Structure 1
Amino acid sequence: MDAYQAYFSSQPTTVIAQDLLGRLLIYDSDQGHFAGYIVETEAYLGVKDSASHAFNHRRTNYSESLYGDPGDLYIYQIRANYCFDVVVQARNEPQGILIRAIEPLANLDQMAKNRHQTGVNLTNGPGKVMQALGIQDRHLDGLPMDQAPLKIDLSQRRQPQKIMVTPRIGVNQDGDSGKDLCRFYVWGNPYVSKSKRRDDDHDHHGWLKKEN
C-alpha cells in the first residue's frame, strides 16, 4: 500500500476532507507547474448517501473509478463543468472527496488565460479549478495519485485558523442526505465558493500565521 492509499483509507471520509484543507494541490502539464492550497472540500459517503454518484449501489462505466483504490482520481462532468474527486476508503467502498476550491500559488498567469478571469473567480469553485488547471476532459480519470500529474502533497499542510462545516452545495436538499454537514472550508479565505466578501480575512486568508 502506497502513502496515498494509506492516507485516504486511514480515517473517516469527513475527517480526511477536513485534513485536506491547507494541503497543496499540484498539477504538472505541458502548460507548466500549477499549484494551489485546498480551501474547500465536500465529502460523499457512498451507497447510503443520496448525493453520491454511488447512491443505492449505482455503478456504471462512467462512475467505475469511484469504486477504485483510495487515492485514485475520479473525474466527471456536471453539465459543462469538469470536477474531480479523490477516491476514499477501500476498493469497492465508493466514497469520495470533491475538491471544491483552491487558493492559487503557482502559474497564476496561465490559470488566468485558461479561465479568462482573475482574482478570486479564478478558482472559487470545482469547475473553475479544473478550467484554471487546463483539464477539460477525463483522460486522468481512474489514475492512482502516485502516478498521476494531478496530486496532493501530503508532506506539509498550511493550518487553517478555523474550519467551517455546512451542508453541501448543489445537491438535492430534499434527499435523505441533502442537509448532511459534509462541506468543509477555511473560514475567511476569499477563494471559498459562494463566500461573502465581508467575511474575507484580508490579512491572512484564514490561515494561522505560523505554518507547519
Structure 2
Amino acid sequence: MVTYGAYIDKKTDLISSTFWIVTLSLLISLMAGLMILPANFAFGMDPAAGPGLTFITMPAIFSMLPAGQFFAIVFFCCLVVAALTSAVSMLEIDITWMVQELKLSRPVAVAVCLIFMLILSVPCALSFGVLADVKFFGKTVFDSADFLVSNLGLPIGGIIACMLCAWTAWDRVHTEWTTIAAYPTRVKIIRLIIGVFCPALVLAVLISGLIN
C-alpha cells in the first residue's frame, strides 16, 4: 500500500479505489477460507497450523480430485505469482531507500535485497524438510518467522502507519490531495477512523495473537 500509494496519480479518487480494493480483498479472503478450512476438518487437520496448511491441505485436496495434478500445478503457479508480486511491492520500499539515501545503483540495491531474501527464506523452506526438527519454542523456522511477522511485525507496523498517516503526515496530505475539497466531512471521518479506530482494532488483534 505504501509503494503503490507513493506512485499513484494525485487526481485518483482514493475513497472509491480503497472501497473496491477492500471489498474485493475481503471477498477473495472469504472464498479462500471457505475452500481451505472445510477441507481441514474433512481431513482431520489442525486449522491452527497456519500458512503451512497451504502445503499440506491443498495437496491432499488435489490428490482426491480428478485431474488433481493439473489443478495443483495451476494453484501453486498462481501462488508463486502472488508471492512475487507481493515481494516486488514490499522490496520497492527498501530498494528506493537504498537508491536515494545510500546512493546505490538500482541493480546493486536489487542484488542486496535478493541476497537478504535468500538468506532469510532458505531456512524457512528447509523447515519443511531437513530442518523440520529444528524448533524454537516448539515452532519450526517457518512457523517462527510467520509468528514474528504476523503476530508482531504486521500489527505493530500497522499501528505506526495509521498514527503517522492520521496525525503526522496529514497536513501534507491535506495540501496535496485534490479530492479533499470535494469531501470535507467524509475526510474528517476517515481521519478519525485511521487515527483512532483502526489502531485500536489492530492493537486488539496484536494482544489476541500474543495471548493465543
TM exceeding 0.5: no
Q: Which structure would you say has the larger Rg?
A: 2
Kindly indicate whether structure 1 or structure 2 has the higher relative contact order, using CA contacts under 8 Å at least 6 residues apart: 1
More strand by share: 1
User: What is the TM-score with the length of structure 1 in the denominator?
Assistant: 0.23
User: What is the TM-score with the length of structure 2 in the denominator?
Assistant: 0.23
More helix by share: 2
